[in-house]
Every structure is written in C-alpha cells, then in structure tokens.
Homo-oligomer: A and B are copies of this chain.
Amino acid sequence: MAKTKSAWSKPASEALRATKKTSLAEFNTRATPGFSGDSNQAAELLTERGAVFAALQEKLYANGRSGGNRSVLLVLQGMDTSGKGGIVRHVIRAADPSGIDHTSFGVPTEEEKRHHYLWRINRALPAAGQIGVFDRSHYEDVLVVRVHNLVPPEVWGARYDEINGFERDLVDGGTTVIKVALVISHDEQRDRLAERLDRPDKYWKFNPGDIDERKLWPAYQEAYQAVFDRTSTDYAPWYLVPADHKWFSRLAVTELLIGALEAMELDWPPADFDVEAEKKRLAQS
C-alpha cells in the first residue's frame, strides 16, 4: 500500500475525472495520469490492490445482506477493443462472484425495442450490497443511436438530461455510479483488431461490423465528447481512462472502485441478535 501511495501522485478519481476542459481530440491515450510507475509495478499493484478491492466488496455485500442500501454501478464504455471485457476479467474477477451483477448490453432485442431505452437498464440495476457492472449501457442510446441516426435528433437530444435525472435517482437511492470511458487511439484499435484476425482463438471476438464502426471514428468521438460535456455531473462523474496500456487501465479502474468503496465508510454490520444467548443455544444444539 505504501508503494501505491508513492506511485500515485494523486487519487485516480482526481487524475482521471472529466472536467469542463476535457477534450477527446487532445486526449493522450498512452498517458498514465497520476501514476508514475511502469508496467511491472502496475502488475504487482493490481494483485495487491485487487485484494483490497475484494475486502471492501465483501463489506459492501455484508451490509447489503443486513439491510444496508448501498450499491455500486460501474459503467464501462469505449470503442471496440478498448478493453471493457478485460476490465471485467482482470479487475472484477478479484471480487466474490456472489456480489457481482454483470450485464452486457448488445443490440436491443425485439422485446427491448418495444420498451423505453431505460427499461432494460432498470432491470439490470444492482441490488443493495451488489456491484453492478455494465459492459456498455444506456449511453449507447446517445452514442451508436446518435451516430447512426437511429432516432431523430430531438429524441436522442432529450436523453442527456433524462440520463442525468435517472442517475440522480440512482445516487439518491444509495448507488455510487462510476462511469468509465476506456479511451484508445485509432492506431491501437487497428492493432487489436488485427490480432483478432491473426489468431484463430480470437476469431469469435471479431465481427465485420467492427470495421464499419471504425470508419465512423470521428462521429463517435463527437458523440463521446457530447456525453462527457453533458452527463459528467457532480454526483455521477465520468472518468476518462487512457487505455492503450491495459496495465494502466486495469489498475486505474481498480483504484476507482477502491476509492468509491472507501468513501462509503462501511463497517461490519452489528449483530441484530443476542450473541451470548445464541452461543448458549448453539452449545445445546
């Protein structure tokens, strides 16, 4: 832990938080804001801090089981190959699966299309004590939907405020919302897609549509910029995580989770029964 403090010049939540000046066009996807360590140090820290994250997560779970209302929602957004799945595999895996509620949001199903776009989101929200993890999210409804003109501009245009209101309610209900945008460069995406085409054990991750989307890169950049400008709020800020270095993005998200859980200042739930009386009953059983 001492090592962490020395390698981070400021908390990840400060170093990565979107501000009014955030400009995706000028964003350095290879930087490691706030962190001065290298990949080896990051890998070591990931194990060490993963254990800290897991211990805090157990406490959140314990509180949820004991009437507490706190939960966490980690929203993962990013272009194809930005490493959303890797965050789940390498960061979230540290936690107890009983306390993780993971949902991938793909192209809406026929049933989902018949409902409001927040319908499927509401159904997937974490219960008390749980860490919900969204691989893509309601933000697709102002990203892919906007880029492809799937609904008229006045419809998606109204969604930013609606999403802010929705997240306000979540936070008021006890959920800490952590919104992470994994930001890779156009070049890095090409390399990662190329790897999927080079390795038969990765073919399943590739979809020809990924290249079509890639061609719309500037439109996506613009749509993401609007998301940061319009939906990074005090209560549910966006964190822009440079993701060309997977070792950095994984460590950074671990730190964001730890920071959120520490801020809850949770204790172990007290006994809601008479401990001594139960000991006697147990001895007689």
Q: Which residues of A contact B (CB under 8 A)?
A: 62-63, 65-66, 85, 88-89, 92-93, 95-98, 100, 102, 104, 133, 135, 190, 193-194, 197, 200-201, 203-208, 211, 214-215, 268-271, 273, 275, 278-279, 281-282, 285
Contacts and interface: CB of A to CB of B under 8 A. Distances in A.
The DSSP consensus for interface residues of chain A is: helix
A268 B88 contact: no
B97 A268 contact: no
A272 to B, nearest CB: 8
B279 A97 contact: no
A122 to B, nearest CB: 16
Contacts of A104: 98
B278 A197 contact: yes
Contacts of A62: 204-205
B96 A208 contact: no
A194 B89 contact: no
A97 B97 contact: yes
Contacts of A270: 200, 203
A45 to B, nearest CB: 20
A200 B211 CA distance: 54
Contacts of A88: 96-98
A34 B235 CA distance: 55
Contacts of A211: 278, 281-282, 285
Contacts of A206: 271, 273, 278
Nearest to A93: B97
